[in-house]
Structure 1
Amino acid sequence: MSIRHGLLALLERGPRYGYQLRTEFESRTGSTWPLNVGQVYTTVARLERDGLVVPAGEDEAGHALYAITEDGRDELRRWFTTPVDRASPPRDELAIKLAMAVGTPDVDVRAVIQAQRAHTIQAMQDYTRLKAQALEAAAARPGVFDPDDVAWQLVLDQMIFQAEAEARWLDHCETRLVRLAPQAVADRREGADNPPSDGDGTAEQADGAPQRSPARVGGLRGALRRPRR
Structure 2
Amino acid sequence: MSTRHILLGLLAGGPSHGYDLKRRHDDHFPQARPLAYGQVYTTLQRLVRDGLAEVAGTDADGGPERTLYRLTAAGSREVGDWSGQVTAPAPFVTNEIFAKVVVAILTGGDPAAHLRAQRAAHLARMRELTALKTAPDASLATVLAADYALHHLDADLRWMTTTQDRLTSLTALTAEVDRA
Partner Cα separation in structure 1 for residue 121 and residue 128 of structure 2: 11
Aligned-residue offset at 1:174: 1.6
Check if 1:171 corresponds to 2:161.
yes
Q: Is the 8 A contact 2:105 2:174 kept in 1?
A: no
Displacement of 1:123 in angstroms is 0.3
Residues 1:92 and 2:78 are matched in the alignment: no
More displaced 10-residue stretch of structure 1: 83-92 or 152-161: 83-92
Structure 2 counterpart of 1:154, from 123, 138, 144: 144
Match for 1:93: what amino acid?
E
Unaligned runs of 5+ in 1: 139-148, 196-229
Q: Distance between the aligned counterparts of 2:91 and 2:156, measured in 1? A: 19
2:68 aligned counterpart, secondary structure: strand
Higher relative contact order (CA 8 A, sep 6+): 2
Q: Give the Å deviation of 1:26.
A: 0.7
Could you list the per-position Cα deviations for residues 56-115 of structure 1 after superposition, in whole angstroms to 9, with x for gaps in the alignment?
211352311111111111111112111112145675333343344443x24322222222
Specify the code of the residue in structure 2 equivalent to 1:63.
Answer: R
Residues 56, 67 of structure 2: 8 Å contact kept = yes
Inter-partner Cα distance in structure 1 for 2:32 and 2:169: 38
Q: Work out the percentage of aligned pairs sharing the same amino acid.
A: 34
Q: 1: CA distance between counterparts of 2:68 and 2:156?
A: 42
Deviating more after overlay: 72-81 vs 172-181:
172-181
Match of 2:66 in 1: 63
SS of the equivalent of 2:54 reads strand
Question: After superposition, what is the alpha-carbon deviation per residue over 1:114-168, rounded to whole angstroms, capped at 9, x for unaligned?
Answer: 22111111101110111111xx236xxxxxxxxxx21221111111111111111
Between the aligned partners of 2:162 and 2:25, the Cα distance in structure 1 is: 36
Bigger Cα displacement from structure 2, 78-87 vs 175-184: 175-184
Q: Which amino acid aligns with 1:7?
A: L
> The residue matched to 1:54 in structure 2 has which SS?
strand
Pair 67,97 (structure 1): closer, same or farther in 2 beyond 3 Å: farther
What is the TM-score normalised by the length of structure 2? 0.85
- The one-letter amino acid paired with 1:68 is L
Any stretches of 5+ residues in structure 2 without a counterpart? Answer: none
Q: CA deviation at 1:181?
A: 3.0
Taking only aligned residues, the RMSD between alpha carbons, in angstroms, comes to: 2.3
State yes or no: 1:180 paired with 2:167: no
Tell me: CA distance 1:13–1:187, structure 2 relative to 1, closer, same or farther (3 Å). closer
**2:121 maps to amino acid:** H
Paired position in structure 1 for 2:25: 25
Superimposed CA distance per residue, residues 38-67 of structure 1 (whole angstroms, 9 cap, x where no aligned partner): 111122222223221112211352311111
**Matched residues, number:** 177
1:136-155 counterparts in 2 under 5 A?
A: 136-137=136-137, 149-155=139-145
Deviates more, 1:91-100 or 1:22-31: 91-100
Which of the pair has more CA radius of gyration? 1
1:221 maps to what in 2?
none
Point out the more displaced range, 63-72 or 94-103.
94-103
Question: What amino acid does structure 2 have at the position aligned with 1:163?
Answer: L
2:115 maps to 113
